[in-house]
C-alpha cells in the first residue's frame, strides 16, 4: 500500500478552495493561442480534396491545372507522394478510397480561397465500387468487402461461470436489443494545426490531446528521429477523445510545408471534421439479464456489434463489454464484442469510449429488471453493485463509493419533491443510472519545477489541458507543496521539446498521472529550499517548513525565518530545480471512479419533445483539488450526455453512403435552452490507493450515466421503453403509438 503524503495532512492552504482557473484571464480576453490561431510570416493555407464516393478505386489523378493556378505552392496526392502507412493497415493516400471524406489530395496556397479554388481544378477519375455503409449492410452474407480480409474484427469473448445455464434457471429474464447512434465529437476547434520546417527539424502546432503520441506517429511516418519533430499545443478548443492520436492532417501539412519551403496551416473545416476526424461508434447490443425473484442478479449475457468505420484509427479502444463485466456483482457473465467495418469515417474514442454506449444498454436493462421485479431501481442496484474488480479478482480501493454515489444522488434529488406536469399533454418521469470508470492514473509521467530568483515557479510538463482544468490543478498541487500562492506558479505544458514526457490526456487520468509527478518535483525543490535556508539561519532543515511564501519554524507558521523570494534572490543565479516522476500504482488493488445520476424530465406527448428539468449527480473522483472545475466538468458532461440521449446522431443515407448532416446546423448539439439544473453531490473522499494525492479523474465520468438515466425517466413518464438512441420526438411518438396499439390488443404479446 502507498501511504499518501496528503492523507496524513489535516489541513491545506490552497487544495480544496474554490478558485477560478489559472488561464481564465487569457481565455476571456481572446489572448489564449489555440493551435489554429498560430500564424507565422509566410504561412500558406492547405485544403484537402476528399472522396465523394463511399468506396471507389482511383483510376487517375490530374492535378496540372491546380498546380498551375497562381498562388498554389504545392499539390500532393497518391500519384506524386511516397506511400506512407497510416491507420491500421492503411496509407495516407489510398488508391482505393473507403468512405465519403477519405483523403484524395491536398493543396497549399497563398490564401484559403486560392487553395479552395485549386481543389476544384483537380481531376480525379473514380471507379465507384460496391459499398456497405451501416451495420446491416456490412453484416449481410453478400456484403461487399469494406477492406481486404472481411468486414469483421476478431470477436472478443469473455466468460466467467455458466451464464447461459443460469439464464435458464432464472426467475426473471430481461432480453432487449439496444442501439446507439454515431455521435460526432464536434469539439469547436476542429482537428488541425501548422507545420513548419527549419532545416530538417519539423515543428507542428497541433490541436491535440497527446503531443508525444503525435510526435511518435509523425516521426515514424516521415522517417525522422524523435528529436527532429517538435509538437506544440498551448491551448485547444476541446478534444473529447478524438484528438488522442495523430491524424493525416499533420503529415499532409508537413509534406506540403517541406515542398513549399514555407509554414503550412491545415485546419479541417466543419464538414471534413464531421466526416473524417472520428466518431463514437454506433452499436447494437443484445442484453440478457437473469435474476432471482429477490432481485439477485445471477447471469449477464451480451452480444455487441460496434461499427468501426473503414479504418481502425488507434488510441483507446471502445471497450463496450467492460461495463457488463464490472459494474455488478455476478458470477456468470458472458460478453462478446465484434467490430464491423463499414464505408464510413473511422470511429475513435469519445469521452468514456465504450462505457457510454454500454451504460445505456446495461442501465436500461437494469431498469427493466427492476420494473419486472416491481423493485425500486436503486434498491435493485444496492443489492447487486460490485465492490471488487471481478475480471482481475481485486478489491476496489474505494468499495463503498458506488453505494455512496447511489445514496448521495438520491438524497440530492429529493425524490419526494414532486411537482406537477406543466400541461395536459405533458408527462413527468424520473430515472436513475450509475456507472464505474477508470481515472486513477499510472506511471510514467514526469514534471520539472524551476524556482526563479524572484521566488516564483516555472512548472514544466509535457501534458495537455483540453479545457479540463489541468493547468489549474497542477498549479494548485505545486503551490500547496511549496507554500506559495497559486498565482506564483506558471504552468508550461504541451511541448515535446521543452517538457518531460506526460501521457495522452485520456482515460480521465491526467490529474492522477501528472499530478503526483508535480507533487514529487515540488517536494524535491522543497527539500533543497529548506537545505539552503538552513545554511543562512542556522536551523536544521528538518526544523523548517514553508508557509505562505515564507520559510518558517516547523509547527510555528507565525515564526517567519526568511521569505522564499529573499532566499532565491540571495542564491541567484544558482537555481533550485525539482524533478518529479509518477510513482507506481499500489499492488493488489483496483482503483476506479464511480458515479450516479437521478434525472427528472417532462415529455410532451403531443409533440414527442423532451425537456430535461433537473439532474442530481454524485461522483467519486477522490480528493477534490478545486470544486469549481469539478462542477464545470460534471455539468458539462451532463449536457453532452443529454445530447447523446436526445439529439445527437450522424445521419447517413445507406443507399448513397453519404452523411447528410456533416455540420452543426443539422447535427444538433445541446444549446443553453437544453441545459438542465444540476445539483452536485460529489463524494470528495480521498482515495488512499490511487496516488499520494488521493485524487482521481472526473473528465469522462459525468457523461456516462446521463443517457440511461434520461431513457429510464422517459419510460417512467410514458410506460413505453425506447431502446434506440437518440430518443428523438419521432421515436417518442412512435413508442406512444406502439404502446397504445399494444394496449388495445389482448394481452399475451409480452410472454
Partner 1 sequence: MVSPASDVMLLVNGELRVARVEPRRTLLGVLREELALTGAKSVCEMGDCGACTVDLDGQPVYSCLILAVECDGHRIRTVEGLARAGGDGAETLDPVQQAFVECDALQCGFCTPGQIMSLRTLLDANTTPSDEEIRRAISGNLCRCGAYEHIVQAGHRAVELEAGR
Q: Is residue 464 involved in binding partner 1 (CB under 8 A)?
A: no
Nearest distance from C-beta of residue 207 to partner 1, angstroms? 10
For partner 1, which is the closer residue by CB, 25 or 293? 25
Q: Is residue 241 involved in binding partner 1 (CB under 8 A)?
A: no
Nearest distance from C-beta of residue 466 to partner 1, angstroms? 6
Residue 293, C-beta contacts closer than 8 angstroms, at least 6 positions apart: 171, 172, 373
Q: Is residue 586 involved in binding partner 1 (CB under 8 A)?
A: no
Only one of the segments 182-190, 288-296, 644-652, 739-747 lies at the binding site for partner 1 (rule: CB under 8 A); that segment is 182-190
* Longest Cα–Cα distance in the chain: 93
Please identify which residue in the block is written with the cell numbers 477534490. 624
Phi, psi at residue 488, to the nearest 5°?
-80, -5
DSSP secondary structure letters along 465-497: -SSSSHHHHHHHHHHHHHT--GGGEEEE-SBTT
Only one of the segments 20-28, 327-335, 341-349, 365-373 lies at the binding site for partner 1 (rule: CB under 8 A); that segment is 20-28
Of the candidates 2, 7, 32, 296, which one interacts with partner 1 according to CB under 8 A? 32
Only one of the segments 262-270, 314-322, 492-500, 557-565 lies at the binding site for partner 1 (rule: CB under 8 A); that segment is 262-270
Of the candidates 3, 8, 30, 743, which one interacts with partner 1 according to CB under 8 A? 30
Nearest distance from C-beta of residue 30 to partner 1, angstroms? 2
What is the total count of residues that contact partner 1 (CB under 8 A)?
60
Of the candidates 6, 23, 280, 601, which one interacts with partner 1 according to CB under 8 A? 23
Of the candidates 83, 85, 89, 113, which one interacts with partner 1 according to CB under 8 A? 113
Of the candidates 279, 390, 397, 468, which one interacts with partner 1 according to CB under 8 A? 468
SS3 for 368-397 is HHHHHHCCCHHHHHHHHECCEECCCCEEEC
Of the candidates 628, 661, 679, 734, which one interacts with partner 1 according to CB under 8 A? 628
Of the candidates 3, 10, 671, 751, which one interacts with partner 1 according to CB under 8 A? 671
Only one of the segments 138-146, 194-202, 337-345, 625-633 lies at the binding site for partner 1 (rule: CB under 8 A); that segment is 625-633
Q: Sketch the per residue contact string, 264 through 303, with partner 1: x for CB under 8 A, - otherwise.
A: ---x-xx---------------------------------
Only one of the segments 16-24, 93-101, 486-494, 712-720 lies at the binding site for partner 1 (rule: CB under 8 A); that segment is 16-24
Cell of 555: 509547527
8-state DSSP, 181: P
Ramachandran quadrant class, 512 (left: phi over 0; alpha: psi -120 to 50; beta: rest): alpha
Nearest distance from C-beta of residue 597 to partner 1, angstroms? 14
DSSP secondary structure letters along 403-417: HHHHHHHHHHH-TT-
Specify the DSSP element, H or E, that contains 209. Answer: none
Three-state secondary-structure class, residue 178: strand
Q: Is residue 326 involved in binding partner 1 (CB under 8 A)?
A: no
Of the candidates 196, 337, 640, 712, which one interacts with partner 1 according to CB under 8 A? 640
Nearest distance from C-beta of residue 272 to partner 1, angstroms? 11
Nearest distance from C-beta of residue 445 to partner 1, angstroms? 22
Of the candidates 35, 36, 335, 390, which one interacts with partner 1 according to CB under 8 A? 36
Q: Is residue 467 involved in binding partner 1 (CB under 8 A)?
A: yes
8-state DSSP, 587: T
In this structure, the dihedral spanned by the alpha carbons of residues 237, 243, 247 and 250, taken in order and rounded to 10 degrees, is 40
Of the candidates 163, 637, 697, 708, which one interacts with partner 1 according to CB under 8 A? 637
Q: Is residue 136 involved in binding partner 1 (CB under 8 A)?
A: no
Q: How far apart are CA 108 and CA 165, in angstroms?
A: 62
Of the candidates 50, 77, 98, 235, which one interacts with partner 1 according to CB under 8 A? 235
For partner 1, which is the closer residue by CB, 190 or 343? 190
In this structure, the dihedral spanned by the alpha carbons of residues 433, 436, 437 and 440, taken in order and rounded to 10 degrees, is 140
Q: Is residue 237 involved in binding partner 1 (CB under 8 A)?
A: yes
| 216 within 8 A of 226, measured Cβ to Cβ | yes
Q: Is residue 516 involved in binding partner 1 (CB under 8 A)?
A: no
Q: How far apart are CA 646 and CA 668, in angstroms?
A: 10
For partner 1, which is the closer residue by CB, 270 or 292? 270
Please identify which residue in the block is written with the cell numbers 496509407. 91
Q: Is residue 117 involved in binding partner 1 (CB under 8 A)?
A: yes
Cell of 198: 527549419
Of the candidates 101, 238, 354, 440, which one interacts with partner 1 according to CB under 8 A? 238
For partner 1, which is the closer residue by CB, 230 or 235? 235
Q: Is residue 37 involved in binding partner 1 (CB under 8 A)?
A: yes
Closest CA to 523 of 568, 579, 452, 604: 579
Q: How far apart are CA 196 and CA 42, in angstroms?
A: 10
Phi, psi at residue 727, to the nearest 5°?
-85, 85
Q: Give me the long-range contacts of 148-153 (CB less than 8 A, separation at least 24).
A: 150/341, 151/340, 151/341, 151/342, 152/338, 152/339, 152/340, 152/341, 153/308, 153/312, 153/338, 153/339, 153/340, 153/341
Q: Is residue 664 involved in binding partner 1 (CB under 8 A)?
A: yes
Starting at the edge strand found earlier in the chain, the sheet holding 677-680 runs 426-437, 593-604, 610-620, 677-680
Of the candidates 163, 309, 670, 686, which one interacts with partner 1 according to CB under 8 A? 670
Residues of the shown chain interacting with partner 1 in the complex, contacts defined by CB under 8 A = 20-21, 23-34, 36-37, 39, 112-114, 117, 186-190, 235-238, 240, 267, 269-270, 466-469, 628-629, 631-633, 635-640, 663-665, 669-673, 675, 677-678
Amino acid at each position: 500500500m502507498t501511504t499518501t503524503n496528503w492523507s496524513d495532512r489535516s489541513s491545506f492552504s490552497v487544495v480544496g478552495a474554490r478558485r477560478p482557473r489559472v488561464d481564465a484571464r487569457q481565455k476571456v480576453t481572446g489572448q489564449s493561442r489555440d493551435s489554429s490561431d498560430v500564424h507565422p510570416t509566410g504561412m500558406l493555407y492547405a485544403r484537402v480534396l476528399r472522396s465523394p464516393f463511399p468506396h471507389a478505386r482511383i483510376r487517375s489523378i490530374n492535378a496540372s491545372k491546380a498546380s498551375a493556378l497562381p498562388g498554389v505552392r504545392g499539390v500532393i496526392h497518391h500519384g506524386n507522394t511516397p506511400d506512407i502507412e497510416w491507420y491500421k493497415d492503411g496509407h495516407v493516400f489510398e488508391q482505393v478510397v473507403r468512405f465519403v471524406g477519405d483523403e484524395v489530395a491536398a493543396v497549399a496556397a497563398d490564401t484559403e480561397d486560392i487553395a479552395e479554388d485549386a481543389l476544384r481544378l483537380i481531376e480525379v477519375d473514380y471507379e465507384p465500387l460496391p459499398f456497405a455503409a451501416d451495420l446491416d449492410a456490412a453484416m449481410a452474407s453478400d456484403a461487399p468487402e469494406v477492406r481486404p480480409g472481411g468486414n469483421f474484427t476478431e470477436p472478443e469473448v469473455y466468460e466467467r461461470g455458466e451464464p447461459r445455464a443460469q439464464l435458464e434457471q432464472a426467475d426473471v429474464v430481461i432480453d432487449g436489443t439496444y442501439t446507439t447512434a454515431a455521435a460526432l465529437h464536434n469539439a469547436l476547434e476542429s482537428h488541425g494545426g501548422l507545420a513548419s520546417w527549419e532545416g530538417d527539424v519539423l515543428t507542428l502546432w497541433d490541436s491535440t490531446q497527446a503531443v508525444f503520441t503525435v510526435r511518435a506517429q509523425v516521426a515514424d511516418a516521415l522517417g525522422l528521429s524523435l528529436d527532429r519533430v517538435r509538437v506544440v499545443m498551448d491551448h485547444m478548443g476541446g478534444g473529447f477523445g478524438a484528438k488522442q492520436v495523430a491524424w493525416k492532417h499533420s503529415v499532409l501539412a508537413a509534406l506540403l510545408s517541406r515542398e513549399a519551403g514555407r509554414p503550412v496551416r491545415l485546419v479541417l473545416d466543419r464538414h471534413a471534421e464531421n466526416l473524417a476526424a472520428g466518431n463514437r461508434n454506433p452499436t447494437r447490443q443484445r442484453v440478457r439479464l437473469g435474476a432471482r425473484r429477490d432481485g439477485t442478479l445471477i447471469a449477464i449475457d451480451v452480444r455487441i456489434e460496434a461499427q468501426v468505420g473503414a479504418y481502425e484509427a488507434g488510441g483507446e479502444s471502445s471497450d463496450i463489454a467492460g461495463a457488463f463485466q464490472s459494474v455488478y456483482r455476478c458470477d456468470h457473465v458472458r460478453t462478446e464484442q465484434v467490430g464491423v467495418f463499414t464505408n464510413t469515417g473511422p470511429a475513435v474514442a469519445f469521452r468514456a469510449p465504450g462505457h457510454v454506449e454500454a451504460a445505456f444498454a446495461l442501465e436500461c436493462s437494469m431498469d427493466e429488471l427492476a420494473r419486472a421485479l416491481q423493485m425500486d431501481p436503486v434498491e435493485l442496484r444496492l443489492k447487486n453493485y460490485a465492490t471488487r474488480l471481478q475480471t482481475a479478482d481485486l478489491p476496489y480501493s474505494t468499495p463503498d463509493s458506488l453505494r455512496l454515489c447511489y445514496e448521495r444522488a438520491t438524497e440530492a434529488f429529493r425524490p419526494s419533491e414532486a411537482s406537477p406536469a406543466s400541461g395536459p399533454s405533458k408527462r413527468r418521469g424520473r430515472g436513475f443510472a450509475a456507472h464505474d470508470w477508470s481515472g486513477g492514473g499510472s506511471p510514467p509521467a514526469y514534471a520539472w519545477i524551476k524556482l526563479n530568483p524572484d521566488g516564483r515557479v516555472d512548472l514544466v510538463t509535457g501534458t495537455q489541458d483540453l479545457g479540463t482544468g489541468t493547468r489549474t490543478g497542477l498549479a494548485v498541487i505545486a503551490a500547496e507543496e511549496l507554500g506559495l500562492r497559486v498565482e506564483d506558479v506558471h504552468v508550461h505544458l504541451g511541448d515535446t521539446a521543452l517538457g518531460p514526457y506526460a501521457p495522452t490526456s485520456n482515460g480521465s487520468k491526467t490529474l492522477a498521472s501528472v499530478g503526483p509527478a508535480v507533487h514529487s518535483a515540488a517536494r524535491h525543490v522543497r527539500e533543497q529550499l529548506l537545505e539552503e535556508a538552513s545554511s543562512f539561519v542556522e536551523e536544521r532543515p528538518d526544523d523548517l517548513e514553508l508557509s505562505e511564501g515564507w520559510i518558517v519554524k516547523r509547527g510555528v507558521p507565525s515564526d517567519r525565518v526568511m521569505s522564499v523570494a529573499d532566499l532565491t534572490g540571495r542564491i541567484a543565479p544558482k537555481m533550485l530545480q525539482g524533478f518529479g516522476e509518477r510513482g507506481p500504482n499500489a499492488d493488489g488493488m483496483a482503483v476506479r471512479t464511480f458515479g450516479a445520476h437521478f434525472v427528472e424530465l417532462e415529455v410532451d406527448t403531443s409533440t414527442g419533445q423532451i425537456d430535461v428539468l433537473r439532474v442530481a449527480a454524485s461522483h467519486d473522483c477522490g480528493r477534490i483539488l478545486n470544486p469549481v472545475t469539478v462542477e464545470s466538468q460534471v455539468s458539462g458532461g451532463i449536457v453532452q450526455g443529454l445530447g447523446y440521449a436526445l439529439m445527437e446522431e450522424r445521419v447517413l443515407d445507406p443507399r448513397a453512403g453519404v452523411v447528410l448532416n456533416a455540420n452543426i446546423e443539422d447535427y444538433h448539439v445541446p444549446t443553453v435552452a437544453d441545459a438542465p439544473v444540476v445539483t452536485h453531490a460529489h463524494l470528495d473522499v480521498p482515495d488512499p490507493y490511487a496516488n499520494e494525492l488521493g485524487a482521481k479523474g472526473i473528465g469522462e465520468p459525468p457523461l456516462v450515466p446521463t443517457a440511461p438515466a434520461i431513457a429510464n425517466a422517459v419510460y417512467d413518464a410514458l410506460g413505453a421503453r425506447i431502446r434506440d438512441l437518440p430518443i428523438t420526438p419521432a421515436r417518442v411518438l412512435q413508442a406512444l403509438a406502439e404502446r397504445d396499439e399494444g394496449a388495445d390488443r389482448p394481452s399475451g404479446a409480452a410472454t
